[in-house]
Homo-oligomer: A and B are copies of this chain.
Amino acid sequence: MQDKLSLMIPGPTPVPERVLLAMGRHPIGHRSADFQKIVKRTTQQLQWLHQTKGDVLVITGSGTAAMEAGIINVLSKGNTVLCGDNGKFGERWVKLARAYGLNVQVIQAEWGQPLDPEAFRAALEADTAKAIKAVIITHSETSTGVINDLQTIASHVKDHGTALCIADCVTSLGACNVPMEDWGIDVIGSGSQKGYMMPPGLAFVAMSDRAWEACKHSDLPKFYLDLAKYRKSAHADSNPFTPAINLYFALEAALEMMQAEGLEKIFARHARHRAAAQAGMKAIGLPLYAAEGCGSPAITAVAPEGIDAEAMRKAVKEKFDILLAGGQDHLKGKVFRIGHLGFVCDRDVLTAVAAIEATLQDLGLHKGSAGAGVAACAAALAQG
C-alpha cells in the first residue's frame, strides 16, 4: 500500500495535518506586514517554548546550522571549549569546533552511558585561569537514546563564572523540561523536524544576554550564520535573508498546537511514551541500549542480543510500514531506535511495540510469552 508510512524515527517526526496544510499555502512576501506578524507571533511562541524572555532566532537550515551559529558567534579563534562526547552528535560538535580552530577539551563517556557531571565540575574547577570559554553539551544524544544531565552540568558551568553553556537541545526541546533561564543556559540550538512537529528546514538558536555579550568579541568568520544580523532583523520582526516562508506558516501552526496542549502535558506525554517503549522492549527480552535511568524522552535505542537489528528494522518497515531508525556508525546492525518525539500519541507507541513484537514472533525470535510486550506497554501507558 502507498502512503501508509508511519514515522517512528527521531526526525523527521510525524506532522499534524493542519501543519501540512499550512506548508501548502502560497508563499507571501517576506518583507510584507503580513509576514512580520508571523515573525512576531512565532518569536513569542518560541520564547514560550524555550522558557526565556531572550532572543530566539530562526535560521533556514538544519539543527547543525543552529549549533554552528551558536558556537561560532560567541567564540574566537583559539578559544578553549569543553565538549561532552557520548555519541554521534557530541562527536559532531567536537569536529565542528575544531574546524573553526577552537581548542577542544573532550569529556567522553561510552556510547550508551551518560556524561558524568562530576567530570565537568572537576575540569571547570581546575580551570582557575578561566581559559574555558564555553561548555558544549548534547542534552538528548539521538544516536544512543541517552539523556545527559544538562541541569547539573549547567550549574557547574554557572559556578565557573565565565564559561558559557551551549546546549544541543535538538531532540530534547519540546520533549522534556528545558527551562533556559532557570538552568542558566546561554545558547540552545534546535531544529524543526523534532519536538516542533514540523518538517525539517528551520533551525532555532536561543541566546542569553551573556551570549550576546560574548558575541561582541567573537572573531570567527561568518555571514549567513552571523547571529547579529538575525537579531537586528528579528527586532524588526524580520529575517536578514529570505527565510523558508512556508515553514514559518507551519511553525506558527505547530507552536499553536503545542501551546494548546501545554508544556507540562507535552513533557508528561513524552515521559509516558519513554516508559511504555522501554517496558514493551524489556518484556520481550530486547535489552535497552541506554544505561538504566538515562533513556531519552525522545528516543529508545534497543540492542537485541543475537539478532541483526538492521534486519529487524527492515522487517518492521516491510510488514507494517513503520519506519524505525537504525544504529549509526559502529552501532549499525546492533541497534534499532524507536522515535517517540513530537506528534506521537499513545496509539503510535502501542502500535510500534506491537509491530516489533509481531515481527519477532514472525521471525521465530520471540523468547517470552506472546503478547507480553504489548501488555507491558499498555500497562505503562495506563499508569502515565
Chain B, Cβ-Cβ closest to A191: B242
Residue pair A223, B95 in contact (C-beta under 8 Å): yes
User: Does the CB pair B64–A61 fall under 8 Å?
Assistant: no
CA distance in complex: A20, B323 (Å) = 25
Q: Is A380 an interface residue (CB 8 A)?
A: no
Which residues of A from 121 to 143 have beta carbons under 8 Å from B? none
A12 at the interface (CB under 8 A from B): yes
Q: Which residues from chain A sit less than 8 Å from chain B, CB to CB?
A: 3, 5, 7, 9, 11-12, 14-15, 20-21, 23-32, 60-65, 68, 72, 95-96, 99-101, 191, 193, 199-201, 220-226, 241-247, 323, 325-326
Residues of B within 8 A of A28 (CB): 5, 7, 12, 323
Do A243 and B12 form a contact, CB below 8 Å, given A24-B20, A222-B99, A323-B32? no
Closest 7 CB pairs of A and B: A24-B24, A201-B244, A12-B27, A62-B241, A199-B246, A65-B224, A100-B221
Indicate which residue in B11, B27, B245 contacts A242 across the interface (CB closer than 8 Å): B11
State whether A60 and B63 are in contact (beta carbons under 8 Å apart), knowing that A242-B11, A247-B201 are contacts in the complex: no
Q: CB-CB < 8 A to A325: which residues of B? A: 29
Are B32 and A241 in contact (CB-based, < 8 A)? Answer: no
Report chain B residues within 8 Å CB of A64. 223-224, 241
**Minimum C-beta distance from A321 to chain B (A):** 11
